[in-house]
């Protein structure tokens, strides 16, 4: 009876170990995606900081280029 219990525990441990490895790969992948998204957001912030997105426009902005 003890041998069966030990074998069952070893099987459970093996499955849990595999699951931990899979979850680690998923977390690592998500971490890389999050880092890239953070970089993208930072670049967008810089891009919009260079432009007036506050809605304050002058009439010169509305003049067609041929004038």
pLDDT tier at 59 (50, 70, 90 boundaries)? low
pLDDT of residue 51: 72
SS3 sequence of the chain: CHHHHHHHHHHHHHHHHHHHHHHHHHHHHHHHHHHHHHHHHHHHHHHHHCCCCCCCCCHHHHCCCCC
Give the global pTM: 0.62
Q: Is the pLDDT of residue 53 over 60?
A: no
| pLDDT tens readout for residues 11-52 | 999 999 999 999 999 999 999 999 999 999 999 999 888 775
Domain borders along the chain are 1-37
């Amino acid at each position: 009876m003890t041998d069966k219990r030990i074998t069952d525990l070893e099987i459970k441990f093996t499955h849990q170990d595999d699951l931990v490895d899979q979850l680690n790969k998923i977390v690592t992948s998500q971490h890389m995606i999050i880092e890239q998204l953070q970089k993208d957001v930072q670049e967008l912030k810089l891009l919009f900081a260079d432009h007036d997105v506050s809605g304050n426009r002058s009439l010169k902005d509305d003049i067609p280029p041929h004038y």
